[in-house]
Structures are given as C-alpha cells and as structure tokens.
Homo-oligomer: A and B are copies of this chain.
Amino acid sequence: MPTSRARPKPADRYHHGDLRAALLREGGRVLATSGPKALSLRELARALGVSHNAPYKHFANRDALLAALAAEGFRELSADSHEAAATAASGEMMLARALAYIGFALRRPAVFKLMFSHDVSGSAHAELGDAARASFFALRQAVAGGVADRAANDTALAAWAFVHGIAHLLIDGQIPEVLHAGRSPEELARDMLRAYGRPRRES
C-alpha cells in the first residue's frame, strides 16, 4: 500500500490567509459572471473543495463577503485614480481621474454596481465604509485641495455624480449607437467630459 503524501483533508487545503484570498477571488468571479444573487458561501466552499464551514472563519455571512468585495473595488478604484492622476499631463489630472473611474466601471461593471448598491452598506461593514470614504476624500482633495467645507464637499459630489452618471449610462447600454458616432465608450466618455464646464466652487 502506498504510504506517501496523502491528499490533505479539505479543511486543511488552505492556510488562513490563503482561503480568504481564494474566497474573494472565486466570489469575484461568480459576481462578474452570475451577479450578486448567485453568491453563496456554501457554493464557494464547494467550488474551492473546503468544508462548508470553512468560509465562516473569514466571513460572518454572505453580506460580509459582498462588503469585502465592494471594499476591494473601492481600493482598486482609488489606486487606478491615483495612478491616472500621477501620470496625467499638467491640467489633465481631473480628466484622467474621471476616465479612470469610468474605465473601472466598464471593466468591472458587476463590482461597480455592487459598490453603489443597497446590497452592501458601509455603515454595517467598517472595511467598506473606510474604503468608500477614502475614495471620496481623495476626490475632494483633487477637486478642492485641502479644503473640506460644505462648498468643497458639494463640488466633489458634483464631480462624482458627473462621472458616475456617464459610467451608468455606458454600462447600462443607454446611449444609442448613433450617438456613439463610431467612438469607443472611452472616447465618448472623454468627449462628454470635455463638453461640460469644469467644476467651480461657490464662494
């Protein structure tokens, strides 16, 4: 009888951090292909070949996994925006940030929708609340420098709403082909951003 390396029992197959990462990866895949309703910790456990209790060491429930996926989304969006602004030509930083936001939505529509849905709540999940706030603060910093008064908040909210609206219209397929006029979604977004004035602060 062979005595060499036995196949590990399912629950041992992942080290602690590895299983969390694997759940987020597989959860992200299910979210992108089948939507949030299809996500179940039990199904993920089955797909990863671990015991059906193992995911609960990392996520209290399905909502906690969704919140972690949304928080990851906000961190990825922040990193994209930061990099886009850092490499933009002078005077084009806001445009670069806006295109990074819209590019993220086009590339990851399911995560984008999850981040801004009623399905997850930043007030119920600290990690998500922190990531969402950090994303807004970075935008406010870009729009209004160090200022954090009501006018600065409103200006940042307005800039957010504008790119958010473009992202929604594009990923929801609401802009008729004839208005694309042969442009890619990214090119159309750029022209829409240029067609509007810059944000201004009320004094």
A residues within 8 Å of B by Cβ?
116-118, 122, 133, 150-151, 153-155, 157-169, 172-176, 179, 181, 188, 191-202
Contact = CB atoms under 8 A, between A and B. Distances in A.
A198 B163 CA distance: 15
How many monomers of this chain does the complex have? 2
A156 to B, nearest CB: 9
A165 B116 CA distance: 11
B202 A195 contact: yes
A145 to B, nearest CB: 15
A161 to B, nearest CB: 4
Contact of A196 (B167, B172, B197): B197
Given A118-B172, A168-B164, A174-B116, A150 B201 contact: no
A103 to B, nearest CB: 15
